[in-house]
Structure 1
Amino acid sequence: MFRVAGLSAVSALFAHDAARVERLFFEERLKAKTGDFCKAMAAARKPYRMVEADELAKVAGTVLHGGVVALIAPRPVPAFDVEAAKRWAADGQPLLILDGVGNPHNLGAILRTAAFFGLRRVVVSDHPGQALPSESAYRVAEGGFEWVELYRAANLPTVLKRLRESYRVAGTALGRGRAVVTDPAVLARGERPAAVVLGNEEDGLPPATLAACEDILTLPGTGRIQSLNVAATAAILIHALAKPG
């Protein structure tokens, strides 16, 4: 089971899919704020318990638990469907795609930002180093996993070539001989909604993935630092592309 810690993350679980919660633990200081959670657990005849801080740390596996921990069954990440994406594109919804973003903290931060700005869907690749939902990602996401639909795409370069029928596909990278887009808002103003692909911080996007993108997107800076953290880059792009609501 996954251990989901923190009031925001646990609140999102109960708001969206309370049936996934198998056990609940909380400190006395959060007794009032977890009252509705306890009622839901009692109605489902599932265990819940108020515990001391040291015991909760053992349950959570960390002292950074925020006073409440829910145990849930992991939810599988569904396969990405290009045909379904065509319907999303018709509705004008952008996509963020991650290819090899391996740090679960970055994944969690990206899902948190996506939820905050109303980006509905994030796609991850089948890159062997790609982070997937985990306890640490859930902790950083602060409930973002309950608001954003996450999909996994196999053979991403092939998927991106098909996706270009309905999305304007842009990969984040330095130009290196190719013309670049430096303003993500330009992508949002096109006839097709944007699908922006981010790679890992060490190596960037794999060559085959980058070759499948029709645009290269580069965020210009002062040059004092070569690049941003991938979660920071994602935040800028999501803010520019997403439609709240």
Structure 2
Amino acid sequence: MKKPTRPKRPAPHRPHSADSGEAQRDRRPPSYGGDKPPSRKPRPAQPTLPPAAAEAYDKLVKIAGLQAVTALFKRDHQRVMRLYYGDSLKTKVGELCAQMARLHRPYRLVDEHELARIAGTTQHGGIVAATLPREIPELDLNAAQRWAKAGEPLVILDGVGNPHNLGAIARTLAFFGVRHLLISDHPAQASVSDAAYRIAEGGLEYLEIYRARHLPQTIKQLRPHFRFAATSLSPRALHLEQIPPQGRPLALVFGNEENGVPAETLAACELAITLPGSGWVQSLNVAASAAIFIQEVAKRRKRP
């Protein structure tokens, strides 16, 4: 005789409702590390730019540092294509972000690692503007003649290869209000690059910068209007105080960090100048010597 089958015990009732704050749990282990629920999908990878867009982005100049970026917005904000800033500056960039919004261009708060990647350096000062490259036109001789007539000095770089030196000289020029900078076509000459902008601390935005295709010829064409003085270590070089301040304004020429002003350029100049020193070391860094000479020519220029 069969034993009667015992009825199955009913499963306990576990009510839940929207008000209870607890829905029925899915107790399966997550499909990836961490304690995220399996219904949440992993964050997708950052999209890569198409080749044409990536190439265009790479051509943008990355200007870093609050002083440099602020000067850029003040002088030529239309060149700014993108703006990135860190948490340390988010209370100081409101107006810059507002300008970007008016231009319908992107601006983003990013972390320190991303800022360093964008700037190409950890010395970014908490902000980076990706900008269109500045156009450096060829020197207009007629414009240069007008500068000379107004008594405005000219500074020329012929083979200054370190962009940090270019940036430091630009900062000095802006500090003393000397506006005109001429860059030669010397193969070693540094360009107006990201590094130059960073060191200039906004000074480059206040300068009128030009290029000379063949500097010795340009010097010869402008000699009736400027006194060209090239820095030199020659014992026959003059100290600046030995040059009378009257007459044509000075055009200072600075050369390569290692080899100095090229011989052809030096021959085209009217004067060779040097700084008096103790003799313990042969010379100063080009940016340091430029600062001393620029201060002197700034004092000599004609006042309105």
TM-score, shorter chain, exceeding 0.5: yes
Amino acid at match of 1:183: L
In the alignment, structure 1 residue 118 sits paired with structure 2 residue 177: yes
For residue 139 of structure 1, the aligned residue among 179, 188, 198 is 198
For residue 296 of structure 2, the aligned residue among 234, 240, 243 is 240
For residue 199 of structure 1, the aligned residue among 251, 255, 271 is 255
TM-score of the pair, normalised by structure 2 = 0.77
Question: Does the CA contact (< 8 Å) of 1:7 and 1:67 recur in 2?
Answer: yes
Distance 1:184 1:31 in 2: 49
In the alignment, structure 1 residue 186 sits paired with structure 2 residue 243: yes
Q: Which structure carries more relative contact order (alpha carbon 8 Å, separation 6+)?
A: 1
CA deviation digits over 1:138-197, x for unaligned, max 9? 111111110111111111111111111100111110235xx432025835x121100011
In the alignment, structure 1 residue 212 sits paired with structure 2 residue 273: no
Distance 1:213 1:62 in 2: 39
Question: Does the CA contact (< 8 Å) of 1:185 and 1:240 recur in 2?
Answer: no
Please identify the structure whose Cα radius of gyration is greater.
2
Distance 1:8 1:142 in 2: 5
For 1:75-86, list aligned pairs within 5 A.
75-86=134-145
Distance 2:243 2:94 in 1: 47
Distance 1:231 1:59 in 2: 27
- Cα root mean square deviation, aligned: 1.5
Query: Kindly tell me: are residues 185 and 66 of structure 1, through their superposed partners in 2, closer, same or farther at Cα, counting changes over 3 Å?
Result: farther
Count matched residues. Answer: 242
Question: Does the CA contact (< 8 Å) of 1:185 and 1:241 recur in 2?
Answer: no
Structure 2 SS opposite 1:49:
strand
Question: Does the CA contact (< 8 Å) of 1:184 and 1:241 recur in 2?
Answer: no
In the alignment, structure 1 residue 163 sits paired with structure 2 residue 222: yes
Q: Which 4+ runs in 1 deviate beyond 4 A?
A: none
* 1:52 to partner: Cα distance: 1.5
Structure 2 SS opposite 1:242:
helix
Structure 2, unaligned runs of 5 or more:
1-59
Query: Kindly tell me: are residues 143 and 185 of structure 1, through their superposed partners in 2, closer, same or farther at Cα, counting changes over 3 Å?
Result: farther
Distance 2:191 2:122 in 1: 23
Query: Kindly tell me: are residues 111 and 185 of structure 1, through their superposed partners in 2, closer, same or farther at Cα, counting changes over 3 Å?
Result: farther
Distance 1:215 1:117 in 2: 23
For residue 130 of structure 2, the aligned residue among 65, 71, 79 is 71
Question: Does the CA contact (< 8 Å) of 1:172 and 1:218 recur in 2?
Answer: yes
Distance 1:200 1:22 in 2: 34
TM-score of the pair, normalised by structure 1 = 0.95
Equivalent residue, structure 1, for 2:104:
45
